[in-house]
Structure 1
Amino acid sequence: MKVFLDSAQAAHHPQNFLHQGVIKPSPESPERIELLRKGAEDAGAIFHTPPDAGLAPIAAVHDARYLTFLQTIHERWKVLPGAAPEVIPNVHPRARSDGYPSSAVGQAGYHQADTACPIGPHTYMSAYASAQSAIAATDAVLAGDRHAYALCRPPGHHAYADQAGGFCFLNNSAIAAQRLLDHRMHPAILDVDVHHGNGTQGIFYARGDVLTVSIHADPDGFYPFFWGHAEERGEGQGEGANLNLPLMRGSDDAVFLTALDTALGAISDFGATAIVVALGLDAHEDDPFQGLAVSTQGFTRIASTIAGTGLPLVLVQEGGYVSDALGHNLTAFFEGL
């Protein structure tokens, strides 16, 4: 199995994270890369640097105005009198149809959903490199590899077509699915991160050509709060092509695996020819976010169950935060394949 990582992905180093009114260091730290890299290498993986496929596969998913914002906002922000070192919004529009301001402060509010996605001097470069890892893994599967893994950091599944959020800037899983679709595959996205993949859902919500399925902690009292509920089924041409399987906080391996059977049944009914696995490892019982209680051995069973479909898998790293178990969880998942 080919695995991909670009060293530029470590340059993004967010400093601020507002949690319940308290400013803390961001848990989406570069240290995640080293823990995940070791976990993959312990399973026998040898990393490759992804080639640069350019902006086109990213622009196939993301709005041009948003990409311009990501590329330019930090330079525009840092010249503002008294501006902080990172771009962090303090005002947001009421709706996406509201006016689009010319000011850096206003555009930050429009394009950043929350305060968990601060933009520093290297954010765009790292997010771009992360997306290239996802593209390379997708291309490996298109070339005939059964499975391929992208160590995507920063992650992507909370990013909408025109909006960052929840540590995410470019939606790597959506980019991978769109690339599969563009090469005549019929993809499904299976998100096993503890948080609902709201950005991924938003990108495909009115489309029927990509099935989006997410297993996650119930958002009634957990990020992202406003999305990820079971009644969200898609709209228009996408009606029925979105499936959310929210789980009670603290759910264990057995509960997760039961939901996984439901998810894979929907993927089979959709007639998918490939699966993009949005591989969050933060459903683990020792993850700092404490949403679910999947064991390390549970990740082996999750992987073997997904692999049992016989479909090609593009594995795109999403969440999973710094703990002693993080690397072991990735090793366990690889072993399950």
Structure 2
Amino acid sequence: MHTFYDPQHIQHDPVQLQGFLMPQGTAHYRESAVRGTLIHEAVKAAKFGPITNPGDFGIEPIAEIHEHQMLTIMQNAFQQMQQEGGAVPIIPNTFSIRNTPTHKPYAIQGQLGMVCFDTFSPILEYTWQAAYWSAQTAVSAAALILAGGERHTFALCRPPGHHASHNKFGGCCYLNNAAIAANWLAQQGQRVAILDIDCFHGNGTQDIFYGRSDVLFCSIHADPLRTYPYYWGFADEFGAGAGLNYNFNFPLPSKCDEFHYMEAFDEALFKIRQFVPDVMLVSLGVDIVALNGNTSFQLPPSALARLGAKVAAFDLPTVIVQEGGYDLTVLGEHVVTFMKGLCGD
């Protein structure tokens, strides 16, 4: 299994927010740079295969998914805030309640409120660079699959991406890595299925493909009535227009155990099999394991190996895209556990 990883992500490390130093891995901001480093070290030690830097596919695959205004505001935010004399890192704090504001504010906080939906995604000096190369990591993993070089590839993406929609970022996500890779594959004539197994619903991925029939989206996640992202991820969201019946959500209750999780997982795989895809992308969040940060599920770590084995048994070219997982003491170990199931180790 070939892994793609770009170490530039470490320059985006939001441990200092608005002048207050936050310990890495605390409940204040868990999506820290050490997450990517720990996963990289664990995967390297497990010796699954080569680990290389991603190639540069340019801005085009990103611009195909995300609105131009969102991209330009994100790219320019840090420099503009410095020019305005405001506090950095930047935490968006005022949000437009209109889908399409009639005027674009001059102030960067106002602009960010047009293209961001929560306070979980601070902008630092190198946030854009980290997000850009995270997206390139996913496209590189998809390109190798398409070339027939590997049956499974791992896009070790950081920052994660599945909460970023076509025109808004949030949830510690800036660019939707899985969606960018899936769309790139679809443009090469592939039928693509995305299986999101992060604890929190991939609302951004759903938004991007909700009206499309060439990419299937299935998500297994905690009940949004009780947890983030709250407003998306319900079982009655099936897609719209051409995308009707190409979106399937499997919200699960608090304290969900392994048996009931596997039932939902098998049902999602059934939907994917009916779709007859050429390629599958798995948005992997190991926060589904009990106590791995921000989760109410009761899955043991061994469940990750079972899930990896089920994906392997599905026998499709598969790209694994890293999403969540926040307990730094076991994060790398949990990712490796899934990969061992996938690789049959």
Note the C-alpha offset of 1:16.
6.2
- Within 5 Å, give how 1:1-337 maps onto structure 2: 1-15=1-15, 25-45=28-48, 46-81=50-85, 83-103=86-106, 104-144=108-148, 145-337=150-342
SS in structure 1 at match of 2:287: coil
Q: State the distance in 1 between where 2:182 and 2:170 align.
A: 20
SS in structure 1 at match of 2:167: coil
Q: State the distance in 1 between where 2:4 and 2:101 align.
A: 39
Q: State the distance in 1 between where 2:17 and 2:219 align.
A: 25
Note the C-alpha offset of 1:74.
1.0
Q: Give the count of matched residue pairs.
A: 333
List alignment gaps of at least 5 residues for structure 2: none
Q: State the distance in 2 between where 1:241 and 1:25 align.
A: 36
CA contact (8 A) 2:286 2:331 kept: yes
Q: State the distance in 1 between where 2:289 and 2:11 align.
A: 26
Note the C-alpha offset of 1:95.
2.6
CA contact (8 A) 1:130 1:152 kept: yes
Gap change, CA 1:164 and 1:313, over 3 Å in 2: same
CA contact (8 A) 1:192 1:215 kept: yes
TM-score, length of structure 1 as denominator length: 0.95
Task: Report the identity percentage.
Answer: 39
Runs of 4+ in 1 over 6 A off after TM superposition: none
Note the C-alpha offset of 1:38.
2.4
1:19-45 per-position Cα deviation (integer Å, ceiling 9, x unaligned):
xxx996410001101221122123313
CA contact (8 A) 1:43 1:334 kept: no
List alignment gaps of at least 5 residues for structure 1: none
1:56-107 per-position Cα deviation (integer Å, ceiling 9, x unaligned):
11111111121111111111112224x1112222221113123241321211
SS in structure 2 at match of 1:216: strand
Q: In angstroms, what is the RMSD of aligned CA positions?
A: 1.7
Gap change, CA 1:158 and 1:295, over 3 Å in 2: same
Q: State the distance in 1 between where 2:268 and 2:98 align.
A: 32
Gap change, CA 1:171 and 1:331, over 3 Å in 2: same
Tell me which amino acid in the other structure corresponds to 1:62.
Answer: H
Tell me which amino acid in the other structure corresponds to 1:133.
Answer: T
Q: State the distance in 2 between where 1:51 and 1:239 align.
A: 35
Note the C-alpha offset of 1:323.
3.0
